[in-house]
Amino acid sequence: MANQSSDLLQTIRQTETTLRLGGGTKAIERQHAKNRLTARERISRLVDLDSQFFELGLWAAYGMYQEWGGAPAAGVVTGIGKVSGRLAMIIANDATVKAGAFFPMTCKKVLRAQRIALENRLPLLYLVDSAGVFLPLQDEVFPDEDDFGRIFRNNAVISAAGVPQFAAIMGNCVAGGGYLPVLCDQLLMTEGSGLYLAGPALVKAAIGQVVSHEELGGAQMHASISGTIDFREADDVDEKALKALIRAAVALNTSRARS
């Protein structure tokens, strides 16, 4: 019995190591080739050096979506970490898993993290790098009250409750992958990343076709003016965006201390 328990524990640990690789070593190499970090590497640089990141939902979507190649950890990393001395809920799209696309279980995992943050009044830090909805399964992503749309409803409810939400654009965020950050209290964006809500950039990112704003019916206003982007800096997306999030957390803690 002891040997069986030891073998089971070893199997669990090996599986967790595999899950933390996300889309696998080749996908990680592709991310590094773009001069970008993986979701867990970003988190490790975001949290305070003297603290540990407490991951939630590592086994989410385990064994699911095999016909599509699987979605380790549901393609998103969630958990609690200390940033600038304050505990925060961190939600980071894993771009090594289908370019950070949202599977049905991805939505539910993000919703759970938002609920935990709201109930415990933890600031939310989103590291956004997403291709939007995983289109082959879009009929399972949108329709219910605990699916994709509720994430954005929660953005509004959480902000109304006075729980801060910060987002950093860490890659190309397309359509639904771009809605979440623009609904946060503060959006940090750098040159070299892309936020494609609509317009020619979205069409090119999705199907590779080059069209004008006029051909799409005048989408320039929606595509280019959001009113929530606080700054844009030179490329080196990961380092600058992570440092900006830390600065935002410092400012938050300072203002709370004064009040």
Query: Which CATH number characterizes residue 110's domain?
Result: 3.90.226.10
The pLDDT score that the predictor gives to residue 216 is 45
Looking at the structure of the chain, the number of domains it has is 1
Q: What is the mean pLDDT of residues 37-42?
A: 92
> What does the alpha-carbon distance between residue 70 and residue 68 come to, in Å, rounded to a whole number?
6
43-56: burial string, b at 16+ Cβ within 10 Å, e else: beebbeeeeebebb
Pairing state between β 194-196 and 86-93: unpaired
The pLDDT score that the predictor gives to residue 208 is 63
* Residue with tokens 């505990």, as numbered in its chain: 87
Residues 152-186: pLDDT tens digits? 899 999 999 999 999 888 877 777 777 788 888 88
Q: Which DSSP letter does residue 86 get? A: E
Better pLDDT: 179 or 244 = 179
Q: What is the mean pLDDT of residues 204-216?
A: 58
Q: Which domain holds residue 209?
A: 2-258
The reported pTM is: 0.79
